[in-house]
């Protein structure tokens, strides 16, 4: 019996030793996996964004051949109606891109010139149209159109990229899309004395709610909300039309966000 007992004890010790060896091997494997995971995490590509609110140059990082662009052209200025109590048309909103992918080619350029659209100006006194907003460009890879100027006679300016501006005494709340981009909202129409003007069309941003008492048309939206008499236009949005003795308002400048994985 003593020999059997000793034999069992030896067997138990061996089994315990084997089990401990297996556990130690598992620990080594787990530690190796953790090291591999940490190495992979450390090597993950970093997401980066550069913002351009003025003309500049994008330096293409080494290894980057795709960028994603978000931004807009510039909004059109509002028109000014010289008639007493009459309202000018709102400026059109600019064309918008949202995370629009751009392939820079197998051999990307070292730099890309970025041009940010300057806002259209509101029509001054004596019955003048607003001027169109300028386009925002990313080299030759992408052009985001500016919005048209509002009309002195009350017509809303067309939005960049295909949206149609309002005609006199007509509410235009449409936006247009094309080529994977978002059309700017058309400018709201102005109205004759005693009538109400109209809100601008919606685009990426919602149209500004019209207060129902202004004769001027509100600016069409873009990346930002269109302007009214008291509020400046957001990025790419159209400026408010002028009313009575108030000149048309300027549109909003363009902007561009360049996102890439380094």
pLDDT in tens, 17-34: 766 677 777 777 878 888
> Which among 46, 41, 102, 40 has a CA at the least distance from the CA of 71?
102
Diameter over CA atoms, the chain:
121
Dihedrals φ, ψ of 26, to 5°? -65, -40
Most confident of 51-60, 140-149, 207-216: 51-60
* Across 104-113, 213-222, 232-241, least confident range: 213-222
* Across 10-19, 47-56, 103-112, 147-156, least confident range: 10-19
Reported as type and span, the H/E element at residue 26 is: helix 2-42
pLDDT average, residue stretch 153-179: 47
- pLDDT, one tens digit per residue, over 106-144 is 899 999 999 999 999 998 877 889 999 999 999 999 999
- pLDDT, one tens digit per residue, over 40-67 is 666 556 789 999 999 999 999 999 999 9
pLDDT higher than 60, residue 215: yes
Q: How far apart are CA 128 and CA 80, in angstroms?
A: 5
216 or 112, greater pLDDT? 112
Structure tokens at 73: 């052209």
Q: How many CB atoms within 10 Å of residue 14?
A: 10
Residue 190's pLDDT band (cuts 50, 70, 90): confident
Average pLDDT value for the chain: 81
Q: How far apart are CA 108 and CA 131, in angstroms?
A: 36
Q: How far apart are CA 20 and CA 1, in angstroms?
A: 28
Give pLDDT, residue 10: 66
pLDDT higher than 90, residue 75: yes
* Across 14-28, 72-86, 143-157, 193-207, least confident range: 14-28
Residue 12's pLDDT band (cuts 50, 70, 90): low
Q: List the 142-144 sheet strands across, edge first.
A: 56-59, 111-115, 136-138, 142-144
Alpha-carbon dihedral of residues 197, 208, 176, 104, nearest 10 degrees?
A: 140
Residue 256: partners with Cβ closer than 8 Å, 6 or more residues away: 51, 52, 69, 70, 71, 114, 116, 136, 138, 144
Residue 173's pLDDT band (cuts 50, 70, 90): very low
Give pLDDT, residue 194: 65
> Which among 244, 203, 243, 210 has a CA at the least distance from the CA of 225?
203
Give the burial string for 190-219 (b: 16+ CB within 10 Å, else e): bbeeeebbbbbbbbbbebbebeeebbbbbb
């Amino acid at each position: 019996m003593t020999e059997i007992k000793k034999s069992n004890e030896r067997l138990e010790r061996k089994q315990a030793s084997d089990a401990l060896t297996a556990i130690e091997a598992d620990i080594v494997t787990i530690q190796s996996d953790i090291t591999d995971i940490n190495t992979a995490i450390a090597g993950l590509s970093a997401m980066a964004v550069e913002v351009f609110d003025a003309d500049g140059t994008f330096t293409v990082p080494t290894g980057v051949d795709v960028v994603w662009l978000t931004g807009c052209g510039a909004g059109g200025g509002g028109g000014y109606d010289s008639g007493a109590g009459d309202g000018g048309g709102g400026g059109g909103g600019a064309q918008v891109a949202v995370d629009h992918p751009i392939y820079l080619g197998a051999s990307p350029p070292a730099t890309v010139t970025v041009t940010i659209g300057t806002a259209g100006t509101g029509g001054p006194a004596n019955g003048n149209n607003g001027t169109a907003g300028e386009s925002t460009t990313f080299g030759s890879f992408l052009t985001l159109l500016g919005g048209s100027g509002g009309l002195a006679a009350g017509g809303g300016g067309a939005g960049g990229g295909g949206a149609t501006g309002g005609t006199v005494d007509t509410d235009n709340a449409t936006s247009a899309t094309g080529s994977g981009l978002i059309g700017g909202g058309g400018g709201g129409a102005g109205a004759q004395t005693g009538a109400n003007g109209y809100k601008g069309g919606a685009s990426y941003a919602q149209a500004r709610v019209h207060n129902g008492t202004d004769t001027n048309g509100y600016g069409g939206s873009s990346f930002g909300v269109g302007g009214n008499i008291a509020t400046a236009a957001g990025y790419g949005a159209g400026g408010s039309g002028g009313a009575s003795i108030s000149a048309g308002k300027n549109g909003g400048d363009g902007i561009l966000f360049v996102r890439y994985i380094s």
